[in-house]
Amino acid sequence: MAPDTASIAGYAIFRKEDYDSPAAAALIPQGTPHPLDQLSIVEIPVAAALLRDYASPRSLRFNCITLREPRKEEYSAFKQGNGPRPDRRAFSIVIDRESGKIAEAVINLTTSKVEEWTDLKDLMPILTLEDLDIVERIAREDPRVIEACKDIGITDMSMVYFDAWAIGFEERWGLERRLQQGLAYYRTSELDNQYAHPLDFVVIVDTEREEILSVDIRYVNGERTAVPLTEHNYLPQFIGDKYNRERLKPIDIVQPRGVSFQMKGNELSWAGYRMHIGFNYREGIVISDVCTHDIYQDRERTLFNRISVVEMVVPYGCPDKPHHRKHAFDVGEYGTGFMTNSLKLGCDCKGSIHYLDGVMAVGSGEAAVVKNAICIHEEDNGLLYKHTDYRDGTVSSARDRKLVISQIITAANYEYGFYHTFTLDGTYNLEVKLTGMLNTYPLHPSEQAAPYGTEVAPRINAQNHQHIFSLRIDPEIDGRNNTVVQSDAVPSDYPVGSPENFYGNAFYSKKTPLRTALDGAAQYCYETNRTWDIINPSSMNPSTQKPVGFKIINTSCPPLLSKPGSVVYKRAAFARKPLWVVPYKDYELFPAGDYVCQSTGEEHPGNETVLDWSQRDESIENTDIVCYIQFGLVHFPRTEDFPIMPAEPVSVMLRASNFFEKNPGLWVPPSSVCADTMCRDAFST
């Protein structure tokens, strides 16, 4: 399994003999790293060597080696100058090559010691890209797979492709084996779109033994389903003359005086904001230490301790086998860091761009780098404010701007773009853009796609599914001790004609503090336009004389549609609620559990989820809390989504709510007094 090439799936692998190369020199940090910086290409192999020595004579394969962030108290003391710099630590999950047993470890890189080693039982680690690569390689050579293809007229196995997926929970093998499933497709040529030619079987693979356990063929009325052979392609070489290059004129984004943000290592400052940008194999982008300069109080104020996307689930809605196993947890089962694309200027990012690389470990314990994993840039964001006074003709308007920190991942057929944005009005927004390919399956002549799917092309079924994302917010609204207050827009309780509501037009915001973690398992209510305010009870707005806060605005929060008692309902308990609020605890991060692969979900020993944290029912009032915000969409596929999907956005927002004394963007010069030398009439005469 150790790589013997220079790259895996776009990763550039760095070995010790490469450290003197110019490419490696640019990746080795100069000086002492920030405590939240990702592990460097030097630190990862050091951690691997320490683990090998500790575990000797066992031979290890490394599932992950990543930064072990310092405990909050330790890091806070260091930031405030009240404590020493935290030791650099790594966290690793390892697999014994001989026995297949799994362990996790914590390595102190400062002292060169393995501080913790824990053997795991009935827990399965994330599937790496090296793991996923096994499926296609061994399936093409398996006699049962060759026979299954031959039965439907396919003899060239080099044209058969398999998308490797986690398997959910499979009763036939339980937790005895580390499993994957491979969804089968065919190509008529090397660059053909395989999702136009889905096959009617799935392979089950033992990852560690590299063994095909089963070929699950779906018979319909005792018959196989023929492969659809009509081509539906989207690459330029297939589109050819159908491109219309004259219809759209170029748009160039120009910043003649440069960008408005500054980078010091991984620390970013922009328009009064400051933050640290991290990256790891599982969460991808991690934004920490977010604070802002308040122009009215002339001081720096804290906003968020840590922001990241910690889970997502994509449950499919077709009840037939083998589709019941399709419910991918793309963060917990594969890792958004592992699946991150290397971004390209002008295509994935446009304008004046600053890139950050992603550094991870491969199975050999060597460091691998995704170049340009993170894109940082500014965009015009339309109006910040405007008012026209008709009395004297005075017009004042200012342009908003947003800072965008983004990554794009490829999860088998789907692409997800994650865009963390900050704007001048005191708003943080996470937008996810969904594109890529529909997951497809062949239709038998006796079948209809409806009601659980759409026939997006003749004999090609794209099944209904959901995308539910979990955004973890560790708030620090003017300090660590915060409370969440539920806000519902409701009409006055007083009847029409009463002294209190004579004309019947009164309504107000009903405030309900969430006091314990069971209260914090909150539902959305469309009828009351429900929002939630994260407030600091000890910090008062001088005008309202009420606590300052940030408002969670989440209107894209569909309910989990899988029935109670189903495998998906048990495994994706986090998706049952749009909001969970629980007390902060170091290293409680992942709402579906630390070990999602093959987890049964509820009551899986050694794999606590947000449901367990909530059921402790601890106080979440005026204390250090964490918010898990679930948002997403229900996807009923359309013919317009085929052969490749137009990007569909979904987002969630946190916005200053009585946090500032006035509009925080009044320092931005109004456009009416700025000379815009780039502005021209669309049609000049």
d(CA 66, CA 279): 9
Burial of 600 (C-beta count, 10 Å sphere; 0-12/13-18/19+): middle
330 part of the active site: yes
CB-CB contact of 77 with 83 (8 Å)? yes
For 447, the enclosing helix (H) or strand (E) is none
Is the pLDDT assigned to residue 521 strictly greater than 90? yes
Q: Averaged over 514-522, what is the pLDDT?
A: 99
Of 197, 212, 236, the residue at which a domain comes to its end is: 236
| pLDDT tier for residue 176 given thresholds of 50, 70 and 90 | confident
For the full predicted model, state whether its pTM sits above 0.85. yes
If you average pLDDT over every residue of the chain, what do you get?
A: 94
For 616, the enclosing helix (H) or strand (E) is none
Of 216, 236, 256, the residue at which a domain comes to its end is: 236
Q: Which residues contact 198 (CB under 8 A, 6 or more apart)?
A: 183, 184, 185, 186, 227, 228, 440, 441, 442, 460
Q: Averaged over 192-201, what is the pLDDT?
A: 98
Tell whether 155 and 36 lie within a shared domain.
Answer: no
Burial of 426 (C-beta count, 10 Å sphere; 0-12/13-18/19+): buried
What's the DSSP call for residue 562?
Answer: S
For residue range 647-667, what is the model confidence (pLDDT) as tens digits? 999 999 999 999 999 999 999
683 occurs within a structural domain: no
The predicted pLDDT at position 4 comes to: 39
Out of 75, 414, 416, 419, pick the active-site residue.
414
Half-sphere exposure of residue 358: CA atoms within 13 angstroms, side-chain side:
32
The predicted pLDDT at position 8 comes to: 53
| pLDDT tier for residue 2 given thresholds of 50, 70 and 90 | very low
| pLDDT tier for residue 244 given thresholds of 50, 70 and 90 | confident
Amino acid identity at 361? A
Range of the domain at 146: 129-236
Residues found in the chain: 685
For 150, the enclosing helix (H) or strand (E) is helix 143-150
Tell whether 85 and 206 lie within a shared domain.
Answer: no
Rounded to a whole number, what is the largest CA-CA distance in the chain? 86
| pLDDT tier for residue 539 given thresholds of 50, 70 and 90 | very high
Is the pLDDT assigned to residue 154 strictly greater than 60? yes
Tell whether 141 and 56 lie within a shared domain.
Answer: no
Number of domains observed in the structure of the chain: 3
**Percent with pLDDT over 90 in the chain:** 88
Q: What strand order describes the sheet that includes 211-217? A: 160-165, 179-186, 198-206, 211-217
Q: Averaged over 519-540, what is the pLDDT?
A: 98
Beta-ladder partners of 181: 165, 204
Tell whether 406 and 490 lie within a shared domain.
Answer: yes
154 occurs within a structural domain: yes
The predicted pLDDT at position 680 comes to: 63
For residue range 273-285, what is the model confidence (pLDDT) as tens digits? 999 999 999 999 9
d(CA 363, CA 338): 12
254 occurs within a structural domain: no
Is the pLDDT assigned to residue 3 strictly greater than 50? no
Q: Averaged over 331-352, what is the pLDDT?
A: 91
Tell whether 540 and 605 lie within a shared domain.
Answer: yes
| pLDDT tier for residue 14 given thresholds of 50, 70 and 90 | confident
478 occurs within a structural domain: yes
d(CA 96, CA 193): 38
Tell whether 443 and 580 lie within a shared domain.
Answer: yes
| pLDDT tier for residue 681 given thresholds of 50, 70 and 90 | low
CATH of the domain at 593: 2.70.98.20
Half-sphere exposure of residue 530: CA atoms within 13 angstroms, side-chain side:
14
> Residue 623's closest CA among 473, 474, 475, 483?
483
The predicted pLDDT at position 10 comes to: 61
SS (H, E, C) 55-92: HCCCCEEEEEEEECCCCHHHHHHHHCCCCCCCCCEEEE
The predicted pLDDT at position 442 comes to: 98
Tell whether 594 and 464 lie within a shared domain.
Answer: yes
Measured at the alpha carbon of residue 196, what is the angle toward residues 649 and 129, in degrees to the nearest 5? 65
CA distances from 226 to 158, 197, 449 (A): 19, 10, 16
| pLDDT tier for residue 679 given thresholds of 50, 70 and 90 | low
Is the Cα torsion angle 343, 344, 348, 353 positive or negative in sign? positive
The predicted pLDDT at position 580 comes to: 99
For residue range 375-422, what is the model confidence (pLDDT) as tens digits? 999 999 999 999 999 999 999 999 999 999 999 999 999 999 999 999
Tell whether 113 and 143 lie within a shared domain.
Answer: no
Tell whether 325 and 217 lie within a shared domain.
Answer: no
Out of 192, 289, 330, 624, pick the active-site residue.
330
672 occurs within a structural domain: no
Beta-ladder partners of 30: none
Is the pLDDT assigned to residue 341 strictly greater than 80? yes
Is the Cα torsion angle 588, 591, 596, 601 positive or negative in sign? positive
For residue range 440-474, what is the model confidence (pLDDT) as tens digits? 999 999 999 999 999 999 999 999 999 999 999 99
Of 120, 142, 160, the residue at which a domain comes to its end is: 120
Tell whether 115 and 144 lie within a shared domain.
Answer: no
Q: How far does CA 548 lie from the centroid of its chain?
A: 29
Q: Which residues contact 618 (CB under 8 A, 6 or more apart)?
A: 516, 517, 582, 583
The predicted pLDDT at position 7 comes to: 47
The predicted pLDDT at position 678 comes to: 61
Is the Cα torsion angle 612, 615, 618, 623 positive or negative in sign? positive
CATH of the domain at 47: 3.10.450.40
CB-CB contact of 80 with 86 (8 Å)? no
Tell whether 152 and 116 lie within a shared domain.
Answer: no
Q: Is the peptide bond before 319 cis (omega within 30 degrees of 0)?
A: no
The predicted pLDDT at position 411 comes to: 96
361 occurs within a structural domain: no
681 occurs within a structural domain: no
Q: How many CB atoms lie within 10 A of CB 176?
A: 10
Tell whether 389 and 459 lie within a shared domain.
Answer: yes
